[in-house]
Amino acid sequence: MSEAMSETTNHRSVLDINDLTVAYKTFNRNVVALSNVSLDVPRATIIAAVGESGCGKSTLGLSIIGLLQRPPAMVTGGEIVFEGRDILKVREAELSRLRGTGISMIFQEPMSSLDPVYTVGQQLTEAIEVRENRKQNRDYGPFERTTAHHESHNLASRLLGTNNVRGALNTARRHYAAGAVEALRNVQISDPERVLDKYPHELSGGMAQRVMIAGALVERPSFLIADEPTSALDVTTQAQVLSLMRELRDVVGTSILFITHDLAVAAQIADQVIVMYAGEIVEQSSVKEIFQEHLHPYTEGLLNSFSSKYKDEGTMEAISGDVPNLKNLPSGCRFHPRCKYAMEKCRLEHPEIRETHQRHKVACHLIS
Amino acid sequence: MQEQILEVRNLVKYFPVRGGTIPSILRKEKLWVKAVDDVSFMVGFNETLGLVGESGSGKTTIGRTILILEPPTRGEILFKGEDIVKFGDENLRLKRREMQIVFQDPMSSLDPRQRLRDILLEPLKAFHDYSKNLDQTKLMTETLASVGLPEDSLLRFPHQFSGGQRQRIAIARALILNPKFLVLDEPTSALDSSIQTQILNLLRRLQQDRKLSFLFISHNVNVVKYMADRIAVMYCGKIIETGRSRDIIEKPLHPYTMALISSVPQPDPEKNISVEQLKGEVPSAVKVPSGCRFHPRCPFAQDICKQVQPELIEIEPEHWSACHFSLSFKH
């Protein structure tokens, strides 16, 4: 690719992943969790990564934000180009500045990703501080900084015998508090001032997830990874969170990689869908085509298991067999032992992902 | 009353709250979590009743209470016409042979140190007549075959199976005593979607073959729709609507059911889920709202809803709803 061309692609896309391969070290061999994954994420687009457990969707998210635990994980090939730079090659200090302001991530379990010993307000303030200080490269982490503030408050309030000095002494803090209130209001929390002083354990699951999203919103990242953000929530709360994500795309222009196992959720939120199986992308297209003109038998099987019938309307067709073990992958096409259309060729030859028509890619021998 | 295998009348289950705020302790107030508050329902022979509701609505407590895994605070549980709440330990033990439960997470409900053979033997040991009169290995392999597990798995441990297979083991364990009634508490929520369909199909086949009755508990409306003949919708410890599956899903009469059904995402990008979302959160079961429990979140709430608790009444044939305005929602 010529330099001029790559520049134009950079303008269109926020993130460009090429042939990413990630393996986990186990005691006798390497288990390949992602093999040759390529993905191009345009601006203000929600891409849903759909697949079952062990298909590599979470590994994909973690490797983009550089949070893979290394070892055991290692990137054995490929590149992740974010705003013109290969993330896999930048130093940790730089990557740490990119996190939050450039790329942000929210996780399935909000309770385990919020810090239990700080109030919602303190955690949101930290996020705002990170955003406003993004040009200064401080070597100490946000944790120490917050603690330092905290101690000085205690000392001052003890000397003056009041709790209100906090705001009086630190005007910057008050400014941040206003920002935090606004952030909470943005995620439709009805009484943000009260929530600000709460600890995570005092919040319900849906509320905690909205606080997490508020934290991600505050930093206005250009790319957000949402790893099963609604799977732990009830459907009525899920509907709220989904509309929030759409707003983030439309208002801030954030691109979102929405990782989910639920095709129905993907149908509701995504612009594009990638279907993953055993560490590979097997099909990729616009959301409409995935649901109406899907090509891969696995996508078809998944969709069948989501078409909800009534009890008296007969049985749904299930994909037979089990999700493959990455340690022991089938030969040829990784889906062939479960595929009802499998041919001799599928057992022998691994299908490459190809573009069939306009922006619709599929990896299957049936489609040629 | 022999038409129903299970009839629950005015079931109440409160859990005491320890501690509480200092003022409430000083006032010597006793706080209760009203997990299940005056619930009545029936399950017919060879029928599936689906229990849907959000987390904290009390569906799991109902499942556990009707097997007396938790003693109910009040109420009657008639199993084949007999009130098992009044049963002594020994009678209850014998009765439990006919009623079994399958839990959500098979990994935590199966003993990791037992081989599959021992897991399946345990219920047989509990009932001596079985171990004397039957060829146990034959019974075990037959049960395994009926849930789709290979015969040679008897000597393996739970961790050697995949998630879907483990749930099959849990089902086999529940079935080995040949019960008539099963409580299925979110049996597929921890499974991958392709495996979920396999297990649901298995349960439906077993129900047909063995003439089982199910109480199917799930938060997933689509799954309940596929499994249940009738559905009961729970909100904050109460059943707020019940009726035939089709009626509940297509013609809901309670505003909460309407919101719940319209929030369920459909696998079709052109069918958008409703934008009229519910505001607020499920109320705490300690401080239950006055009147109708749904009124703080209900878009149609009037003054009467704050004061008077609506009763479950039959609005249409076999379709019951607990809302003051259900008649006006009638289609």
Classify residue B10 as left (phi > 0), alpha (psi -120 to 50) or beta.
left
Residue that has been written with the tokens 């505003």 in this structure: B255
Asked if the structure places residue B106 within a domain, the reply is: no
- Summarize pLDDT for B240-270 with one digit per residue, the tens: 999 999 999 999 999 999 988 888 888 888 8
| Highest-pLDDT range among A94-103, A123-132, A322-331 | A322-331
Here the ipTM equals: 0.80
**Residue B327 lies inside a defined structural domain of this protein:** no
From A212, A246, A279, give the residue that closes a domain. Answer: A212
The residue segments making up the domain with residue A196 are: 111-212
- Asked, for residue A240, whether it belongs to a domain, the answer is yes
CATH number of the structural domain spanning residue A323: 3.40.50.300
Mutation for testing the B interface, residue in A298, A322, A325, A339 having most B CBs under 10 Å = A322
**Residue B261: inside a domain, yes or no?**
yes
Where a domain ends, among A212, A228, A250? Answer: A212
Residue A252: DSSP 8-state:
I
Name the pLDDT band for A245 (thresholds 50, 70, 90).
Answer: confident
Residues A41, A185, single domain; the answer is no
Is residue A260 within 8 Å of residue A274, measured between CB atoms? no
> Rounded CA gap, A75 and A72, in Å?
10
B216 within domain boundaries: yes
CB contact under 8 A, B219 and A322: no
- B234 within some domain: yes
Residue A367 lies in a domain: no
Any domain includes B242: yes
Mutation pick from A300, A310, A317, A325 vs chain B, by most beta carbons of B within 10 Å, is A310
Give pLDDT tens digits for B193-212.
888 999 999 999 999 999 99
Q: Is the pLDDT assigned to residue B56 strictly greater than 90?
A: no
Instruction: Give the model confidence (pLDDT) of B120-144 as tens digits.
Output: 988 888 876 666 666 788 888 889 9
A229 with A330, same domain: the answer is yes
Distance CA A55, CA A121 (A): 37
For residue B21, pLDDT beyond 80: no
Residues A356 and A227 in one domain: yes
A226 & A206 share domain: no
Q: Are residues A312 and A329 both part of a single domain?
A: yes
Q: Rounded to an integer, what distance in angstroms lies between the CA atom of residue B83 and that of residue B76? A: 6
Q: Is residue A150 part of a domain?
A: yes
The residue behind tokens 């959720």 is A265
Residues A223, A77 share a domain: yes
Backbone angle region of B58, left / alpha / beta, with phi > 0 → left and psi within -120 to 50 → alpha: left
Domain that holds residue B262: 4-98+179-266+273-282
Q: Which of residues 190-219 of A touch B (CB under 8 A)?
A: 190, 204-207
Q: What is the pLDDT of residue B276?
A: 63
**Count of structural domains within chain B:** 1
pLDDT band, residue A171 (cuts 50/70/90): low
Cβ B223–A308 below 8 Å, yes or no?
A: yes
The answer on pLDDT for A170 being more than 60 is no
Q: Which pLDDT band, with edges at 50, 70 and 90, does A271 fall under?
A: very high
Lowest mean pLDDT among A7-11, A73-77, A85-89, B112-116: A7-11
Residues A224 and A351 in one domain: yes
The residue among A212, A245, A268 that closes a domain is A212
Whether residue A268 sits in one domain with residue A146: no
B228 vs A207, A238, A311: nearest CB: A311
Verify that A154 and A247 share a domain, yes or no.
no
φ/ψ (deg, to 5) at A146: -65, -40
Please indicate, yes or no, if residue A368 is contained in any of the structural domains.
no
Q: What is the pLDDT of residue A125?
A: 83
Instruction: Determine the pLDDT at residue B170.
Output: 93
Do A234 and A339 fall within a single domain?
A: yes
Q: For the domain that residue B219 is a member of, what is the CATH number? A: 3.40.50.300
By CB atoms closer than 10 A (0-12, 13-18, 19+), residue A85 is middle
Q: Give the residue-averaged pLDDT of A160-189.
A: 64
